[in-house]
Amino acid sequence: MTEDKNEELLAKRRERMVEGQIISRGIKDERVIRAMRKIPRHLFVPADMIDYAYNDEPVPIGEGQTISQPYIVAYMTEALNLKESDRVLEIGTGSGYQSAVLAEIVKEVYTVEIIASLSHRAQELLTRLGYKNIYYKIIEINKEKNSFKFTFNEKPNKILFNPLSNIPINLSNYYAFNNIIDEFHNLIIIYGTARQIEANHTIALRYQIVLADAYTEILPPVKKDSEVNSELAYNNDLIILGHPSDNSFLNKIINKIPVSFKHNMFIYNNRTYAEPDDGLILTLPNPFNPKRIMYLIIANSALQLYKMTSKFYRGPNYAIYKSDKIIEEGYTTLPAIYQE
């Protein structure tokens, strides 16, 4: 295939990406759409990954990092509600693709990275593509203080934080439900089979689609509680649905989570929730592998579980539900077992 033909094919794939992954999912900012139509995403991935550049998924770029899924780039960019005069600070240069999208829209982009090789590679490519409004900084982590410092000539007025960046933040605030997007391919949904098996299975399958619609059309696997062994739990992020009376997997780890249970009720933060329409979403380190995350969606009834899983929860560390309403949410201190 000639180079011109190959570029033509890649351009068609880029257009399909924009139409099928960006516009179809509700991105409306014409500046974001125009930027993603223009920028050759395939140049931001390794040569052996070009065939995957326009897929609906993150793509490895080396150094254990990825270029974010196209929709996530569009979603985060649109959420900034950008103006042409803005100066944006981007935490985590990575491939440089997000930097390019921002640079198409705003006056200046300040992008910082802790992996020097990625920063140098991105700067070389973005310079070759003609971007003159992007400013780069390689930062060093002060491990003793778990912090970093950097300065720029002009103060940014907006910040974009890539959740995949290796930037140190307080551990007690790290485990949030939004982190589910970090490694969507290493995620399983676990439902209970002790009672109401069909209802629980139906809820799990529906939530599988909710997650796919929220971020990617790839469906995370759904597993029965009895199918999940320690090895599988160790290698994946876990979404655990239900109550220990329904879900035997949750029952196995009951002494490792900061929630107590009685028949059709739960106790959290020294408060008892005993009504059928009470529920809790809680995010914790995976007790089998604290480098991964466990998402608990606890409900006192199948109907309540159904209501809580009707849409994706975008929030912090925990949320208390009454029916389909969140009545309290916030961050909680991790149990001592996770801080050893």
Give, in order, the Cα–Cα distances in Å from 144 to each of 148, 168, 277, 338.
Answer: 10, 12, 46, 20
The mean pLDDT value for 317-335 works out to 84
Give, in order, the Cα–Cα distances in Å from 277 to each of 59, 172, 228, 274.
Answer: 41, 28, 28, 8
Q: Tens of pLDDT along 258-269?
A: 999 988 899 999
**pLDDT score, position 161:** 75
The mean pLDDT value for 244-270 works out to 92
The mean pLDDT value for 163-179 works out to 48
Q: Does the annotation mark 24 as catalytic?
A: no
**pLDDT score, position 280:** 96
**pLDDT score, position 167:** 47
Rg (CA), the chain: 22
The mean pLDDT value for 68-76 works out to 90
Pull the structure tokens for residue 264.
């059709």
Q: How many other CB atoms are there within 10 angstroms of residue 97's CB atom? A: 26
Q: How many other CB atoms are there within 10 angstroms of residue 221's CB atom? A: 12
Inter-residue contact 117 to 63 (CB < 8 Å): yes
Whether this model's pTM surpasses 0.85: no
> pLDDT confidence of 17, banded at 50, 70, 90?
very high
**pLDDT score, position 169:** 43
Q: Is the pLDDT of residue 162 over 70?
A: no
Q: Is the pLDDT of residue 29 over 50?
A: yes
> pLDDT confidence of 340, banded at 50, 70, 90?
very low
Mean pLDDT over each residue of the chain, to the nearest integer: 86
SS3 at position 225: helix
**pLDDT score, position 2:** 57
> pLDDT confidence of 170, banded at 50, 70, 90?
very low
User: In sequence order, which residues have a C-beta less than 8 Å from that of residue 145 and are 6 or more positions away?
Assistant: none
Q: Tens of pLDDT along 129-144?
A: 999 999 999 887 655 5
| Residue 33 or 329, more confident | 33
| Residue 144 or 76, more confident | 76
Inter-residue contact 56 to 21 (CB < 8 Å): yes
The mean pLDDT value for 234-247 works out to 92
Q: Over pLDDT 90: what percentage of the chain?
A: 57
DSSP assignments along 104-117, one per residue: TTSSEEEEEES-HH
The mean pLDDT value for 194-203 works out to 90
> pLDDT confidence of 329, banded at 50, 70, 90?
confident
The mean pLDDT value for 153-160 works out to 86
User: In sequence order, which residues have a C-beta less than 8 Å from that of residue 118 and are 6 or more positions away?
Assistant: 61, 62, 63, 65, 93, 94, 95
Q: Tens of pLDDT along 176-191?
A: 555 555 555 688 999 9
Q: Amino acid identity of 285?
A: P
Q: How many other CB atoms are there within 10 angstroms of residue 297's CB atom? A: 23
- Which member of 24, 68, 245, 260 is catalytic? 68
DSSP for residue 163: T
The structural domains of the chain, ordered by start, are: 3-168 (3.40.50.150), 178-332 (3.30.379.10)
Give CA–CA dist 103/330, Å, rounded.
Answer: 34
| CA angle at 220 for the pair 177 and 168, rounded to the nearest 5° | 35
